[in-house]
Amino acid sequence: MQNIMEFDEKLLDMLKIITTEGFRNAADGFSGMVGRKIEVSNPTLELVPLLTIPKMVGGIEDDAVGVYLRFDGDIPGQIMMVIPYQKALELSDLLMGVPQGATQALGTLERSALGELGNLCGSFFLNSIAKTAGASFRPSPPAVMVDMVGAILDIVVATVGGVSEHVLLVHANFTEGKRFVETNFYVIPDMKALHTLVQKNHAHE
């Protein structure tokens, strides 16, 4: 099995360009859904030790909303959107078209709306990658959870954990003007997908 750490700089740079474009597309979808101009900030792409993932979003014990989807196809993987609870209430106001501060709790309807937001951002992201890389994807329906950040991110750790000690983490934040929407968007391709990518890349050279 090819070592994941053998990723060369050129490939990483190329992936960075493709995924940044993907995030921009996801932000467009986000904007369309909430009716505000949402932009991407700090898109990153890096290999990280798996066990550090839950420490990446603020307090591990803080309440948050997670929207999770898996995608199969040429490059399988998973997408997780993590929104701090308070921000999720604000986003829910926008999504449901109610006055600011009206959403006090997340019921079935609000959760479903947030799930759709994650679904849409995920699809926009994947569509962009599909177009640039000529790959095809089949995303799963979104799963929504309201829980502690650590428990939400455990899902990513548990699914990757049996396979690798490192993950390629593609991450961005969404912002609205100067205000932070604080929505973390993670894309984690499966390790076997990375091997496909590395091979494809070598074939091109």
Query: Contact positions toward other proteins, by CB under 8 A?
Result: 1, 51-52, 54-55, 59-61, 63, 68, 70, 140-143, 145-155, 157-159, 161-165
Give the shortest CB-79-to-other proteins separation in angstroms.
12
Q: Least distance in Å: CB of 172 to other proteins?
A: 23
Amino acid symbol at 92: S
Q: CB of residue 138 vs other proteins: minimum separation in angstroms?
A: 11
31 versus 164: smaller Cβ distance to other proteins: 164
- In the complex, what is the shortest distance from the CB of residue 93 to other proteins, in angstroms, rounded to a whole number? 20
Nearer to other proteins, 34 or 57 (CB): 57
* Residue whose entry in the numeric block shows the structure tokens 């959403």: 103
